[in-house]
Amino acid sequence: MRQFQAESKRLLELMIHSIYTHREIFLRELISNASDAMDKLYYHSLQDGGTGLSRDDFKITIELDKDARTLTIEDNGCGMTEDDLENHLGVIAHSGSLHFKEKIEQGEDVDVIGQFGVGFYSSFMVADKVTVITKAYGSGQAYRWESSGSEGYTIDPCEKEGHGTRITLHIKPNTEEDNYDEFLNDYQVQDLVKKYSDYIRYPILMDLEKTRMKEGTHEKPEFETYREKTVINSMVPIWKKQKNELTAEDYNRFYQEKFHDFQDPLRVIHSSTEGSSTYYALLFIPAKAPADYYSRDYEPGLQLYASGVLIMEKCHDLLPDYFSFVRGLVDSQDLSLNISREMLQHDRQLQLIRTRLEKKVKSELLSMLEHDREKYDQFFQVFGLQLKFGVYSNFGMHKEALQDLLLFYSSTEKKLVSLKEYVGRMKEEQKYIYYACGDSVSRIEMLPQTELLRDKGMEMLYLTDDVDEFALRVMLSYEGKEFRNVASDNLELETEEEKQSAKEKAEQNKELLEFLTQSLDGKVKEVSLSQRLKSHPVCLSSDGEISLEMEKVLNAMPHATEKVKAQRVLEINMNHPILQKLQSLYETDRDALKTYADLLYSQALLIEGISLEDPVSFSNQICELMTKA
Ligand code: ADP
């Protein structure tokens, strides 16, 4: 008995006792080895033409024997010499396995298929004995390698017709926890091949049971079963086909099957490139967000293939976070099958692909926005929030990339509009892009602060998502136009005349306003006279960086420790009869005036959708007034 190298022995032990839930990937590994072995020989024959073999001569066969509990996979590739067996199957040759071993030893969750090219040894996750019979191309002697685990292995000469490798796995008996029978079941194995190795370029054959009508029984059909060697992989992946070979239906079917969605995607992005990096990408924009999309549980990522072999189910590094709704796959010829997740992150090819994919997704979205607005609106309703988070996060690093993809509800158009559209319609004298915040469009419409702008026919963007105002604040401006909240104190909408008369009125009421400010006792920074209010008596506005809406959002965050407070200004409509009432109370009854100040402030809070600290006292004050009247 020959001994495994120490590292290999340890890895084998880990495999044997593995609780790794994706044991099934052993099949992918063996098929991919077989495919490589055929590639090697094929390449060789292309080089010197000596082998006389053509591509069509190569195949992989899978045989199952339920009684003997064996799964056999055979190829007619390059095969292995005695030395190859010793050096390749007795030693951990590649970093993928080592990596896997390290991670498992550190007790990490390695529940990601293909994160590591775990290689040939993965057979020991499902088999208690593995027999390899192989004959190298051009050699007269075949060899049998056999091992029942970490104690060691044997290599002996044997007979084998033709070159290639035949690997037999003696599938483990079932235990209470684990059932290995699926690896002996035709249909389950067929499914595994389809799932992981569908696109291997050589045919994968299995002897499958089929049913046909017995001959001569057309009148009264009788059926019989028979077995037939069947190619179970499609060999050419859809993403490698020409676009004009494919219909919308082909794409949709593929999408639904592959990504378990029962709706067609909103958009299909199929691209391939050659040059500095060679890859194919087939991406989809779903019509609906998965239920967990906006939660921490959502795991983004595209499937990553290396030359047709699936190496990672969810590769995060192919698209930026703000495009995490995109589903699909990338197939690159420049990546090694054994590349680990850590290595991937630094892989230059991958970076290149990422840059291109990002551009591609963006340009597709823009084209949707321009040419298929209805669909874009539908998209934005579902995933717009993610784009807005994208603008806001990382201190606005991506605002430029994303700003043209944003839509907001317009007060004048009564539908979602882009910033470009807004700016294109701005009035000549209009300095700012105005927006108003609230829980819903109808609530915002009722805000007193929106009245003046509506009167002047100015378009406002209605922001209804928490993140909206933060996103605009991070952007600061669009095409040189600053954003301005209609609730901020300076909208620069008054004419010189109006400004002058406001100034005079403020001067005349100076003492009254000071009294009101004081009686509100720190609740507001200032009480001022306003001419932006038309029919409403009061409103709240904010002075400074934090708006009332931002205050609400920030304080509602789960980890908000210190409450933030916007600097509030209570604005009183200077053309409203309430002002006269206040003026007369200032002369006659200052106690009542204090109550009025409280009441006005409470009303302004309610209009803003901010709850009152003491609703009971508010109610009592009103009742008192009612009984007085
Ligand atoms: P990897 O394929 O990542 O190198 P494996 O542990 O799967 O690692 O395989 C180790 C080596 O054994 C391969 O590199 C190859 O040289 C050899 N090998 C495995 N399977 C076959 C096969 N079916 N035919 C020829 N050589 C093989």
The pLDDT tens digits for 489-518 are 778 887 888 888 888 999 999 999 999 999
Which of 7, 15, 33 should be mutated for ligand 1, with most atoms under 8 A from CB? 33
Residue 364: closest CA among 270, 453, 441: 270
User: What is the model's pLDDT at position 113?
Assistant: 34
What CA–CA distance (Å, rounded) separates 54 from 454?
Answer: 76
Q: Helix (H, G, I), strand (E, B), or coil: what is residue 457? A: coil
Say whether pLDDT at 90 is over 80.
no
Tens digits of residue pLDDT in 549-568: 888 888 877 766 778 888 99
Per mean pLDDT, which range of 50-59, 276-285, 499-508 is the poorest? 50-59
User: What is the model's pLDDT at position 629?
Assistant: 64
Q: Helix (H, G, I), strand (E, B), or coil: what is residue 254? A: helix
> Residue 120 Cα, ligand 1 centroid: separation in angstroms?
7
User: What is the model's pLDDT at position 216?
Assistant: 85
Confidence band, pLDDT 50/70/90 cuts, at residue 168: very high
> Residue 127 Cα, ligand 1 centroid: separation in angstroms?
17
Tens digits of residue pLDDT in 236-270: 888 988 888 889 988 998 898 778 787 899 999 99
Helices (H) and strands (E) in the chain, counts: 20, 22
Identify the residue whose C-alpha is closest to ligand 1 atom 18.
33
Using alpha carbons, list the distances in angstroms from residue 75 to 57, 72, 134: 11, 10, 9
> Residue 330 Cα, ligand 1 centroid: separation in angstroms?
25
User: What is the model's pLDDT at position 396?
Assistant: 87
User: What angle in degrees, to the nearest 10, is found between the helix axes of 466-475 and 373-396?
Assistant: 70
Residue 229: closest CA among 63, 445, 352: 63
Rounded average pLDDT over 130-143: 96
Identify the residue whose C-alpha is closest to ligand 1 atom 15.
88
Q: Are 145 and 131 in contact (CB under 8 A)?
A: yes
> Residue 292 Cα, ligand 1 centroid: separation in angstroms?
40
- Of the two residues 74 and 149, the one the predictor is more confident about is 74
- Of the two residues 89 and 621, the one the predictor is more confident about is 621
> Residue 88 Cα, ligand 1 centroid: separation in angstroms?
6
User: What is the model's pLDDT at position 572?
Assistant: 94
Ligand 1: nearest atom to the Cα of 77: 24
Residue 343: closest CA among 312, 322, 321, 319: 312
Confidence band, pLDDT 50/70/90 cuts, at residue 97: low
Which of 8, 61, 120, 155 should be mutated for ligand 1, with most atoms under 8 A from CB? 120
Residue 86: closest CA among 155, 15, 152, 150: 155
> Residue 40 Cα, ligand 1 centroid: separation in angstroms?
11
User: What is the model's pLDDT at position 105?
Assistant: 63
> Residue 605 Cα, ligand 1 centroid: separation in angstroms?
72
Q: Two tokens at 232?
A: 């179970």
Confidence band, pLDDT 50/70/90 cuts, at residue 584: very high
Contacts of residue 293, defined as CB under 8 A and 6 or more positions apart, other chains included, come to 325, 386
Sheet arrangement for strand 538-543? 526-530, 567-573, 538-543
Q: Are strands 279-285 and 267-273 parallel, antiparallel or unpaired?
A: antiparallel
> Residue 315 Cα, ligand 1 centroid: separation in angstroms?
25
- Identify each DSSP E strand in 45-203 by its residue range: 60-65, 70-75, 127-135, 142-147, 153-158, 164-171
Say whether pLDDT at 106 is over 80.
no
Confidence band, pLDDT 50/70/90 cuts, at residue 107: low
User: What does the DSSP assignment read for 289-354?
Assistant: --TTTTSTT----EEEEETTEEEEEEEGGGS-GGGTT-EEEEEESSS-TT--HHHHHT-HHHHHHH
Backbone phi and psi for residue 34, each to the nearest 5 degrees, phi listed first: -65, -45
Identify the residue whose C-alpha is closest to ligand 1 atom 9.
120
User: What is the model's pLDDT at position 398?
Assistant: 92
In one-letter notation, the amino acid at residue 84 is D
Identify the residue whose C-alpha is closest to ligand 1 atom 13.
88
Rounded average pLDDT over 410-435: 95
Residues with CB under 6 A from ligand 1: 29, 33-34, 37, 75, 77-80, 88-89, 93-94, 117, 119-121, 165, 338
pTM: 0.68
Which of 36, 59, 86 should be mutated for ligand 1, with most atoms under 8 A from CB? 36
Q: Which of 61-75, 533-547, 599-613: highest mean pLDDT?
A: 61-75
Tens digits of residue pLDDT in 314-371: 999 999 999 999 999 999 988 775 666 667 777 888 888 999 999 999 999 999 999 9
Ligand 1: nearest atom to the Cα of 164: 24
Ligand 1: nearest atom to the Cα of 167: 23
Identify the residue whose C-alpha is closest to ligand 1 atom 20.
33
Question: What rounded mean pLDDT belongs to the chain?
Answer: 88
> Residue 132 Cα, ligand 1 centroid: separation in angstroms?
11
Which of 76, 88, 200 should be mutated for ligand 1, with most atoms under 8 A from CB? 88
Confidence band, pLDDT 50/70/90 cuts, at residue 20: low
> Residue 85 Cα, ligand 1 centroid: separation in angstroms?
9
Confidence band, pLDDT 50/70/90 cuts, at residue 95: very low
What CA–CA distance (Å, rounded) separates 513 from 503?
Answer: 13
Q: Helix (H, G, I), strand (E, B), or coil: what is residue 629? A: coil
Say whether pLDDT at 67 is over 90.
yes
> Residue 175 Cα, ligand 1 centroid: separation in angstroms?
30
User: What is the model's pLDDT at position 280?
Assistant: 94
- Of the two residues 333 and 372, the one the predictor is more confident about is 372
> Residue 75 Cα, ligand 1 centroid: separation in angstroms?
12
User: What is the model's pLDDT at position 274?
Assistant: 67
Ligand 1: nearest atom to the Cα of 78: 25
Ligand 1: nearest atom to the Cα of 92: 6
Rounded average pLDDT over 438-464: 92
User: What is the model's pLDDT at position 100?
Assistant: 55
